[in-house]
């Protein structure tokens, strides 16, 4: 709570300080100081709520010495947008100078970043000096298992301190002599743990070794402390693991759907509203493009091709025709630079992604989203899924007209495995980190960044 209080005090002081400074410069007096205090309090509350909800003030997050300016900027911008909306709804925004609000926003962001950096340094120094009361761990396991575990995890940066180790006998033979050696080593470990009074006994053993785990749990239950089972290596792949019980069945929940029901509804509403508006605005452009395509070469205006969508269900994607061929089958050749199949008007449309605009219809139909992993031809999907193990995970969300991969330079034909892996990694990042703000960021980058189109041909 000290860290949260420091952030709140910083925001209030910056509000008052910038207010007085701006008023002194513009009007030669201190101005309404009480009003600046009220605005600072409101902004601090708006900033702290999401930070507290996302556990940003946990000691473990500070001990990793991980400065995240983008995350702080998002929270601060969110607080400021909410502040402006509240001012508009309450008709109080007119009382404050826009110049001061801009100054408050900029100074507040810089101040929060500086305070966070200083806080990280202070936490690291306090942790090294032993001033932070982290969890006191007693490790139990074979010497080899404990050595591997401590090499894999830096417990100090997780707010934990090892106060003792109890080594177990390693003998995989199912004999009475092996069982006696295990019992003796467990008894010695319990005695050592009782002497150091740990907060938690961490049992480090393969989960398949049921006999050892049962014996240790029975023995350490006599101590007034928590007992935990160290994770298997497979769990390192997942970030949101939870234990779920269904009656007597306890299961380890490894992976959640990419989006909750509420997130899916928000994304769909955003897609419908934006695509409907875009369709109305772009209808005249669509008519002009259709005429140019018909004048340029024989064939239909729209090109339709089967693509995989959500949950690998196929759908017909719409594009303005840019080639003299209409390939859609088991053998689809990717477009290459200076491809002879591309028409004259097609070169221009592909260069600026204009040929993708009819996919707004796919968005309205519900086959696609404005933002998501780009759908590929079925033939390419089948080939690439054999090369990349997690390729099919792209289909856990709806495909998009543009995506995180596209704004990061992964556009055009794929000629090397590194390009494919880079595109897939970007798609998986988007799936795991989706937010409506990320969608808006990608849409703005697609519309206004020249780099998005550098590999288009």
Rounded to 10 deg, the angle between the 69-89 and 33-53 helix axes is 130
Domain membership of residue 245 (yes or no) is no
Q: Could you tell me if residue 370 is inside a domain? A: yes
Rounded Cα distance between 94 and 91, Å, is 7
Residue 131 is predicted with a pLDDT of: 62
Last residue of a domain, one of 80, 103, 128: 128
Show which of 230, 248, 272 is a domain's final residue: 230
Higher pLDDT, 72 or 174: 72
pLDDT of 248 > 90? The answer is: no
Is the pLDDT reported for residue 228 higher than 60? Answer: yes
By mean pLDDT, which of 142-146, 206-210, 377-381 is the weakest? 377-381
pLDDT band with cut points at 50, 70 and 90 for residue 447: confident
Share of the chain above pLDDT 90, in %: 27
Choice among 12-16, 57-61, 173-177, 301-305 with the minimum mean pLDDT: 57-61
Rounded Cα gap, residues 82 and 10, in angstroms:
19
Residues 397 and 265 both lie in one domain: yes
Other residues' Cβ atoms within 10 Å of the Cβ of residue 97? 16
Q: With bands split at pLDDT 50, 70 and 90, how would you rate the model's confidence at 54?
A: confident
Q: What is the pLDDT of residue 402?
A: 92
In this predicted structure, the answer to whether residue 260 has a pLDDT above a threshold of 90 is no
365 lies in a domain?
A: yes
Do 165 and 114 lie in one domain? The reply is no
Quick one: three-class SS letters along 99-119?
HHHHHHHHHHHHHHHHHHHHH
Instruction: For residue 165, give the CATH number of its domain.
Output: 3.40.50.2000
Q: How many domains does the chain have?
A: 3
244 lies in a domain? no
* Mean per-residue pLDDT over the chain, rounded: 83
| CA distances (Å), origin 149, targets 141, 153, 230, 281 | 10, 6, 9, 59
Same domain for 69 and 180? Answer: no
CA distance 421 to 419: 6
Asked if 217 and 284 sit in the same domain, the reply is no
Specify the residue for token string 């703005």. 444
Question: Which long-range contacts link 141-147 to residues 24+ away (Cβ below 8 Å)?
Answer: 141/167, 141/168, 141/203, 141/204, 141/205, 141/230, 142/167, 142/168, 142/169, 142/170, 142/205, 143/167, 143/170, 144/170, 145/204, 145/205, 145/206, 146/204
What is the greatest pairwise CA distance in the chain? 90
Report the b/e string of 110-120 with b at 16+ CB within 10 A: ebbbebbeebb
Listed residue (304, 309, 313) closest to 376, CA to CA: 309
In a domain, 242, yes or no: no
Indicate whether 169 and 202 sit together in one domain.
Answer: yes
Q: Tell me the CA distances in angstroms from 97 to 31, 41, 46, 208, 261, one per residue in order.
A: 11, 18, 20, 66, 41
Q: Are 62 and 120 in contact (CB under 8 A)?
A: yes
Q: Are 162 and 139 in contact, with CB atoms under 8 Å apart?
A: yes
Q: Tens of pLDDT along 335-369?
A: 666 667 888 888 888 888 888 999 999 999 999 99
Q: Which band of pLDDT confidence, cut at 50, 70 and 90, is reported for residue 249?
A: confident
- What pLDDT, on the 0 to 100 scale, is given for residue 270? 93
**All residues at 6 or more sequence positions from 150 whose CB lies less than 8 Å from its CB, including other chains:** 139, 162
Question: Residue 309 in contact with residue 367, Cβ under 8 Å?
Answer: yes
Helix (H) and strand (E) counts for the chain? 15, 10
Question: Rounded distance, CA 7 to CA 82, Å?
Answer: 18
What distance lies between CA 116 and its chain's CA centroid? 21
- For residues 349 and 394, state if they share a domain: yes
Please tell me whether residues 219 and 341 are part of one structural domain. no
Q: Which of 128, 147, 182 is the last residue of a domain?
A: 128
CB 413 within 8 A of CB 384: no
User: Could you read off the pLDDT of 107-160 as tens digits, one per residue?
Assistant: 999 999 888 888 877 777 776 666 665 678 999 999 999 999 888 887 766 667
Q: Which two tokens stand for residue 236?
A: 């390192």
Q: Is residue 303 included in any domain, yes or no? A: yes
Write down the residue that tokens 């970043």 correspond to: 113
Band (377; pLDDT cuts 50, 70, 90)? confident
| DSSP bridge pairs for 83 | none
Are residues 385 and 346 located together in one domain of the fold? yes
Confidence check: pLDDT of 60 > 70: no
pLDDT band of residue 272 (cuts 50, 70, 90) is very high
Q: Is 248 among the domain residues? A: no
Do 211 and 161 fall within a single domain? yes
**Residue 353: its pLDDT value, please?**
82
103 and 154 co-located in one domain = no
DSSP per-residue letters across 404-418: HHHHTT--S---SHH
Query: What is the per-residue pLDDT for 169?
Result: 84
Lowest mean pLDDT among 120-129, 312-321, 367-376: 120-129
Q: 104 and 195: one domain? A: no
The two beta strands, 242-246 and 249-253, are antiparallel
Q: Is residue 298 part of a domain?
A: yes
Same domain assignment for residues 114 and 161: no
pLDDT at 19: 86
pLDDT digits (tens, 9 = 90+) for 64-114: 555 567 788 888 988 888 888 888 777 776 567 778 888 889 999 999 988
pLDDT at residue 157, as a whole number: 65
Domain range spanning residue 171? 135-230
User: Per-residue confidence at 445, pLDDT binned at 50, 70, 90?
Assistant: confident
Given a cut of 90, whether residue 457 has pLDDT beyond it is no
pTM: 0.58
> Which pLDDT score is estimated for 171?
62
Give the C-alpha separation, 324 to 346, whole Å: 9
N- to C-terminal Cα separation, the chain: 54
Across 416-428, average pLDDT: 82
Band of the pLDDT at 194, cuts 50, 70, 90? very high
Give dist(CA 229, CA 201) in Å, integer. 8
């Amino acid at each position: 709570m000290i860290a949260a209080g420091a952030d709140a005090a910083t925001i209030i002081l910056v509000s008052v300080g910038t207010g007085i400074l701006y008023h002194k410069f513009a009007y030669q007096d201190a101005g309404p100081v009480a009003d600046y205090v009220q605005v600072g309090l409101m902004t601090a509350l708006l900033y702290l709520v999401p930070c507290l909800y996302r556990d940003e003030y946990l000691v473990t997050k500070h001990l990793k010495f991980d400065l995240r300016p983008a995350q702080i900027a998002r929270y601060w911008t969110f607080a400021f947008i909410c502040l402006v909306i509240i001012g508009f709804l309450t008709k109080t925004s007119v009382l404050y100078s826009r110049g001061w609000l801009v100054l408050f926003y900029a100074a507040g962001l810089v101040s929060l970043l500086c305070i966070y950096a200083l806080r990280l340094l202070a936490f690291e120094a306090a942790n090294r000096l032993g001033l932070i009361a982290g969890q006191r761990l007693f490790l139990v396991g074979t010497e080899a298992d404990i050595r591997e575990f401590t090499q894999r995890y830096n417990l100090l940066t997780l707010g934990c301190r090892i106060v003792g180790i109890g080594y177990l006998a390693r003998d995989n033979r199912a004999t009475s002599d092996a069982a006696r050696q295990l019992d003796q080593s467990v008894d010695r470990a319990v005695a050592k743990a009782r002497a150091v009074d740990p907060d938690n006994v961490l049992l480090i053993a393969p989960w398949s070794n049921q006999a050892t785990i049962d014996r240790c749990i029975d023995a350490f239950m006599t101590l007034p402390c928590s007992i935990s089972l160290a994770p298997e290596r497979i769990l390192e792949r997942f970030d949101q693991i939870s234990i779920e019980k269904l009656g007597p069945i306890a299961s380890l929940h490894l992976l959640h759907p990419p989006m909750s029901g509420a997130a899916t509804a928000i994304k769909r509403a955003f897609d419908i509203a934006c695509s409907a508006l875009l369709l109305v605005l772009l209808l005249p452009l669509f008519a002009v493009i259709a005429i140019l395509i018909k004048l340029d070469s024989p064939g239909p205006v729209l090109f339709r091709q089967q693509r995989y969508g959500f949950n690998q269900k196929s759908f017909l994607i719409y594009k303005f025709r840019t080639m003299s061929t209409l390939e859609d089958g088991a053998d689809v050749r990717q477009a290459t630079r200076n491809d002879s199949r591309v028409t004259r008007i097609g070169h221009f449309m592909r260069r600026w992604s204009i040929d993708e605009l009819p996919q707004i219809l796919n968005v309205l139909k519900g086959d696609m989203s404005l933002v998501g992993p780009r759908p590929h031809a079925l033939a390419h999907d089948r080939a690439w899924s054999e090369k990349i193990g997690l390729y099919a995970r792209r289909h856990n969300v709806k495909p998009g007209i543009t995506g995180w991969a596209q704004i990061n330079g992964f556009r055009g034909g794929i000629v090397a495995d590194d390009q494919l892996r880079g595109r897939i990694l970007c798609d998986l990042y988007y799936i795991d980190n989706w937010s409506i703000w990320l969608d808006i960021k990608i849409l703005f980058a697609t519309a206004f960044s020249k780099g998005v189109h550098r590999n288009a041909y």
